[in-house]
Amino acid sequence: MTPNDDHPLRYAITNELHARPFPSLEAPCHAVYVAFKQPSNAANRDRAADLKHLQALLDRHGGAQPRPDATHYSGEIGRRTLKWESHTEFVTYSAFAPGLEERPFNPVEAAVFPPDWIADAPGKRLVSALVRVDLLPAEPASLSTLFNDWFVPESLACAWVLDGAAVIASDFRIDPAGHMRFAVFVRPGTSPRRVGRIVQRLCEIETYKAMSMLGLGRARELTARLNALDPQLSALVEDLTSETATAEHTLHALLAVSAELESLAVKTTFRFGATGAYEAIVMQRIEVLRETRFEGRQTFSEFMMRRYDPAMRTVKSAEARLGQMAERANRAGELLRTRVDVERSRQNQLLLESMDKRADLQLRLQHTVEGLSVVAISYYAVNLASYALGPLAEHFGYGHGAAVAILTPVVIVAMWLAMRRIRKGMH
């Protein structure tokens, strides 16, 4: 087999599966994670600006520059390891460093991403998280006290993961410094790759959760507009059976409602579709952690079921309602077309009846004219015949008046028979 036998994308698509490996982390360590999303959608997103923003960070720390067409990057920046990934709608930065600050979740850890550099980002910061990775104490139950100090107990979620290899915890709240907090306690001897996978999964859960929640705001805006359009559409459907509302007026109003529904569908289809995809990723990432309950606390999956799922159901409900209203508008349009067709058929029937009446009148008028024509033609025919037969009548001793009297009924009958024959031949 020669290289020419290979598909030109064979190596590219194979290497893509291994282009973004999990980080390798040894406890104790910490990670700082941020995600940026540009205001535009994926279709017109400026990826060059994202790459330029990465280059600016690397220049600050003297890091090696990425390829011009890079969609991912991994390299050293000082004492930290930087991992950058460009996704469909957002970019993520992860900075890993060994050791832990004496103060848990110290905002100083986030200094690797300077505030002025964040302000210059082509997009807005959507996620900022601090991940603290430490060794599991000999008495895991003692972690409950730490979790109550670090997180809000009311919304705290924690669990054993990966068959008891580690304990993870978070309250999914933004602390006063503007960061989300995640704690990971791993058993001694846990492989660095497994620790890296746990940290990566937590960052992905938060990122995709945030991205999917963008659909909730769009769903609320859509619901408010649908609440205003629903009565209008209902009134238009009622007008279809009203004798006072004209079909033309109803048609114009229905077209306006249908056009707005179509516009809303165009504006929300991408976001709602992305929300569904991100929701599936969140649930899949939680599932692969293989959670078991820790000290009677709620797990991540239970937290999502209670607080995240209702938001996703709201998005799905708004999307379904938009589709149902669009279908209602289409059915109303079909009914309106049926009403117009019925009215048109009735008008055509009336027109045909009017044409039949006019044809009948024309026929009667034609018969009248034909009768008058027989009289007129007979008058001239009698005169002509009297001149032609006058001498013959005098020869037999008849006067001019007697000859005319004899010819008149004969000529009239002949003309009437002739006209009847002509009319019979025409029909």
Same domain for 33 and 155, yes or no, is yes
Same domain for 332 and 381, yes or no, is no
Which of 152, 169, 197 is the last residue before a domain boundary? 197
∠ CA(69), CA(71), CA(74), 5° rounding?
110
pLDDT band of residue 337 (cuts 50, 70, 90) is confident
Cβ proximity of 213 and 192 under 8 Å: no
Task: Read off the pLDDT of residues 352-399 as tens digits, 9 standing for 90 and up.
Answer: 888 888 888 887 777 666 666 767 777 767 777 766 666 766 666 666
| Burial annotation 131-148 (CB, 10 A radius, 16+ → b, else e) | bbbbebeeeeeebbeebe
d(CA 221, CA 319): 12
Alpha helices of 240-308 — where are they, by DSSP H?
A: 247-288, 300-303
pTM exceeds 0.75? yes
Of 125-129, 217-221, 328-332, 340-344, the one with minimum mean pLDDT is: 340-344
Residue 2 lies in a domain: no
- Which element (helix H / strand E) includes 35? strand 29-37
d(CA 282, CA 345): 58
Mean pLDDT, residues 53-69 taken together: 91
Query: Which pLDDT value is given to residue 372?
Result: 64
Provide the domain limits for residue 220: 212-350
Of 141-145, 150-154, 385-389, the one with minimum mean pLDDT is: 385-389
Pick left, alpha or beta for residue 423 (phi over 0 → left; psi -120 to 50 → alpha; otherwise beta).
Answer: alpha
Same domain for 248 and 376, yes or no, is no
Which of 24, 19, 21 has the alpha carbon at shortest distance from 194? Answer: 24
Mean pLDDT of all residues in the chain? 87
Which of 350, 376, 405 is the last residue before a domain boundary? 350
| Burial annotation 375-404 (CB, 10 A radius, 16+ → b, else e) | eebbeebbeebbeeeeeebeeeebeeeebb
For residue 236, the Cα-to-chain-centroid distance in whole angstroms is 24
What single letter denotes the amino acid at residue 52? Answer: K
Same domain for 239 and 383, yes or no, is no
Give the Cβ contact number of residue 245 at 10 Å: 15
pLDDT of 43 > 70? The answer is no
Residue 74 lies in a domain: yes
Same domain for 180 and 107, yes or no, is yes
Residue 22: burial class (beta carbons within 10 Å; 0-12, 13-18, 19+): middle
Same domain for 422 and 312, yes or no, is no
How many domains in the chain?
A: 3
Residue 12 lies in a domain: no
d(CA 150, CA 181): 8
Q: Determine what percent of the chain is predicted with pLDDT higher than 70.
A: 88
Residue reference for tokens 């890993």? 96
Task: Read off the pLDDT of residues 169-210 as tens digits, 9 standing for 90 and up.
Answer: 999 999 999 999 999 999 999 999 999 999 999 999 999 999
pLDDT band of residue 117 (cuts 50, 70, 90) is very high
Give me the DSSP letters along 109-127. GGGGS-HHHHHT-SSEEEE
